[in-house]
Each structure stands twice: as C-alpha cells, then as structure tokens.
Structure 1
Amino acid sequence: MNMRAMFIDMDGTLLKASNNISTRNMEAVNTLMNQGVKVFLATGRHYEVTAPYHKELGLRTPMICLNGAAIHDADSGKTIQMKTVRLNDERFHHVTAESAWNVIIHTANGVYCKKTNEEIDYWTQVGRIPPHYIGDLRQANYQDVLKYSVRTGTPCPNISALFNKEAEVINWNDGFELLAPNVSKWSALKSLLREYRISPNEVVAIGDGPNDIEMLRHVGTGVAMGNASEKVKAAADFITGHHENDGLAQFIEQYLLKSKQSYAI
C-alpha cells in the first residue's frame, strides 16, 4: 500500500473506553512513524483534551480538532486555522434552552455549557482548564463559536434539520453537532495535505463516527472500526477490529508495516 500519511480519530478508534492508548496501539503507531509515515490526529475534541495524547504518542504534526473547525500547531498549540459558525442564537436557544438537554459551545476562548457532567469533568481533569461558563447560555457572553454540541440523549434528526441552512450538521445517537458550512475533518485534512504536498491517494484515514465519514470516503484508503455504525462502515474500504480489541493496531500491523507482526486480524 503506497501511503505517506495516516489520520487517526481518537474516541472509539485510538482510545479505549477508559480514554487510554493501549500499548499495542502505541507501538503500532510508533513503528509506522519510524517508517517515515506522517501520523495526524483528527478528532471532535478540543485542543486541550487532544494535546496530552498527541504528546504521549510523540507526534510532531498539526492536530485537527473540533471536527475540522480548528487546526493547531504541534509545538505551540497555536490555532493555525479556525472556521467559526454563525447561527441565529436567539432561535438556537429557543429550541434548546427549556429542555433537559445539555448544550456545549466550543469557542476560540474556551467551553461554555448549560450544565456540567462526567464528560466535562474529564475534560477539565485532562485539559486542566474548566469551562468558561456553566449555566443559562442565553446569559453567556461568548463569541467565535467553533462547534455547538446538543446532547439530547437520543437521535434527533428532526431537530438538527432546523439548522441545515445555517450549519454543517452531524447527527449522533445521543444528539447532534453544528459546525460552519462545509467544515469537516475532511476539509481540514485537505488543507494539511496541500501544505505537506501529499495526495489524498497516499492517505489512510481511520475512524468510527459520523464525523469521520467524509474523510473515509475521500482518502485513498478509508478504514472503519469494528465498533462503527453500518453507515460509517459503508463509507470505508476496510473494516478492522473493535477499539477495545486494538482494531487500529490490527490494521496497521496487517497492512501498513514493512515488517509485519504475528498478530491476527
């Protein structure tokens, strides 16, 4: 396989449910880098909860964060590309404020949320920066929004469709996310490929979520995790193992390493 770069999703792909990188995944990624392959993280997470894992892997490449709304420099963490989304906030809060749903707003200056939860507590622990604001978001003074996240607890395509004309919509089983139009991991990936003069045909991308579909479809080799939905798997060229069973390492070992390991896929 002629491959110069690999883009790796984090949750459900690189990481186990415990939010840890397994030894096997770590070794596979490091061996790949030692072969001269450029490895990038492409995640829905914001920078502060991406950077520690980037450092743990020893990566020297920019980070794609917030589903492509931001690209961060490897060394300084400085935002080198940012795509803000502009909604009619009055209408957005009319739809979301009175419900029990949590709403998380990622901005250039930090996270604003309606209420805290286990996930946000984890972000604070790992990123060491608490939310800028917790409470009624109609009273919050925020700007430069990179991503809106609405956690409904169930799929709500009928609600997310209200924003189709204003934003790029990503539907999840527990809610939806809103980005600037035409922003995705794939749009950010394309920017980096131009910078590094790498063809999409020389790229492998691997992920498990609806926010990974565009990049899986458009790179030379798209890989879906075994834990991905059928829709994500349908967008991929290969399907590897479950993230709890080191599916990332399984694919790297079988298809990408010059000296293959003896693990079975």
Structure 2
Amino acid sequence: MNVRAIFIDMDGTLLTASNNISQRNLEAINRLINQGVKVFLATGRHYEVTAPYHKEIGLRTPMICLNGAAIHDPITGKALQMRTIRLNEERFHHLTAENPCNVIVHTANGLYCKEKDEEIDYWTEVGQIPPRYIGDLRQAQYQDVLKYSVRTGTASPEFSALFKKEAEVIDWHDGFELVAPKVSKWSAIKSLIHAYRINPNEVVAIGDGPNDIEMLRHAGTGVAMGNAGGEIKAVADFVTGHHQNDGLADFIERYLYTPYEPYAL
C-alpha cells in the first residue's frame, strides 16, 4: 500500500473511552512518522481540545478541527483556514427553544452554550479555556460561527432536517451538528493534500462516526473502526478493531509498516 499521509479521527478512533492515547497507538503512529508518512488529526473537536493530543504525539502537521470548518497551524495554533456558517439565527433559536436540548456554538473566538454539562467541563479542563458565555443564546453576542452542536439526547433526524437548506447536517445518536454547506473533514483534507502535493490515492483516512463518512468514502483507503456504525462501515475499504482494543494500531501494524531493509555491508 503506497501511503504518504494518514488522517486520524480522535474520539472513538485515536482515543480510548477515558480520552487517552494508548501506548500501542502512540508507538504505531511514531513508527509511521519515522517512515516518512505524514500523520494528521481530523476531528470534530475545537482547537483547544485537540492541541494537547497533537503535542503528546509530537505531530508537526496542521490540525483539522470542527469537522473541517477550521484548519490550525501546528506551531502557533493560528487558524490557517476557516469556513463560517450562516444560519437564520432567529429561526434557529426559536426551533431549539421549542425542543429540550443543549446548544453549543463554536465560534472563531470561543465557545458559547445554552447549558453547562460534563462534555463542556471536560473541554474546559483539557483546553484550559472556559466557555465565553453560558445561558440564553438569544442574548449572546457572537459572530464567525464555525459549528453548531445540538444535543437532544437522542437521534433527531426530523429536527435536523429543518436545517438542510442552510447547512451541512451531521446526524448523531444524541443530536446533530451543523457546519457550512460543502464543509467536511474531506473538504479540509483536499486543501491540505493539495498543499503537500499528495494524491488522494496516497491517503488513508480512519474514523468511526458520521462526520467521517466523506473522508472514508473519498480517501484512497478508508478505514472504519470496529465500534463504528453500519453506515460508516459500509463506505470503508477496511474495518479494523474496536478503539478500546487499539484498532488504529492494529490497522497500521498490519498494512502500513514498511519492512525493514537489511543493512548491506
């Protein structure tokens, strides 16, 4: 397999359920880097809760965050690319107010949310930056929105369908996310591989969620985790092990390692 770059999802792929990188995954990634393969993180997370893991691995490649809405410089953290979304805010807040849910607004300048929860507490702990606002979002003054997250606690395809004319919709088992039209992890990957002069056929993408479908479908090799749903596995070329069992490392070790050449005297 001729691979020059691999794009790795974080939650449910790189990370365990306790939000750690296993030693085996870390070693597998580092061996790939030593082989000359460019390793990128491609996540739905915002920059502040991506960067600590990027640093832990020792990556020097840009980070794809917020489902492709932002690409960040590996050294400075500065946004190299941002794709903002424009919704009818009055309609959005009216509809979300009618439904029991939490709303999280990811902007270029920070996080705004309707309510505080365990997820936001974790983000605050890891990223060391609390939300800029918590409360009635109709009263919040924000701009340059990169992603809206609507947490309903259950799959809500009928609710999310109300926004399909305005946004790219990603449905989850506990709600949905909205980004700008035509934005995805794959759209961000295309920008990066063009800059690095890498052919899509030389790209591996690995993930487990609905926000990974586009990159698994279009990368030269798409890999679904064992914990991924059927819809995700259906578009992948390979299905590897569960994220709790180092499925990422298992795929890398099986298919991406270059055999060591014997030293010629």
TM-score (structure 1 length as normaliser): 0.97
Moved over 3 A (4+): none
For residues 58 and 35 of structure 2, what CA distance do their matches in structure 1 show?
14
2:224 corresponding residue in structure 1: 224
Q: Is the 8 A contact 1:221 1:236 kept in 2?
A: yes
How far apart in 1 are the matches of 2:82 and 2:256?
A: 32
Identity %: 78
Residues 1:31 and 2:31 aligned together: yes
Q: What's 2:91 paired with?
A: 91
SS class of match (1:106): strand
Aligned to 1:8: 8
Distance 1:236 1:220 in 2: 10
CA contact (8 A) 1:97 1:136 kept: no
Aligned AA (2:34): N
- Alignment correspondent of 1:127: 127
SS in 1 for 2:12: coil
Structure 2: how far apart are the matches of 1:66 and 1:201? 24
Would the aligned equivalents of 1:104 and 1:149 in 2 still touch at CA under 8 Å? yes
Counterpart code for 2:16 = K
The aligned residue for residue 202 of structure 2 is 202
Q: Match of 1:7, as an amino acid?
A: F
Is the aligned partner of 1:158 residue 2:158? yes
Contact 1:208 1:227 (C-alpha < 8 Å) held by counterparts: yes
Cα shift at 1:258:
1.6
Cα distance in 1, alignment partners of residues 152 and 186 from structure 2 = 26
Consecutive unaligned residues in structure 1, runs of 5 or more: 261-265
Alpha-carbon distance between aligned partners in 2 of 1:82 and 1:134, rounded to the nearest angstrom? 24
CA distance in 1, matches of 2:28, 2:61: 17
In the alignment, is the contact (CA less than 8 A) between 1:61 and 1:73 conserved in 2? Answer: yes
What TM-score comes out, normalization by structure 2 length?
Answer: 0.97
Match of 1:142, SS? coil
Could you say which residue in structure 2 is the equivalent of 1:80? 80
The Cα of 1:100 is off from its aligned counterpart by: 2.6
Is 1:186 aligned to residue 186 of structure 2?
yes
Q: CA deviation at 1:97?
A: 1.9
Q: Is the 8 A contact 1:47 1:65 kept in 2?
A: yes
CA drift of 1:105 comes to 0.2
Asked if the contact 1:209–1:228 (Cα under 8 Å) also holds between the matched residues in 2, the reply is yes
Tell me which residue corresponds to 1:263.
Answer: none
CA RMSD of aligned residues (A): 0.8
For residues 208 and 99 of structure 2, what CA distance do their matches in structure 1 show? 29
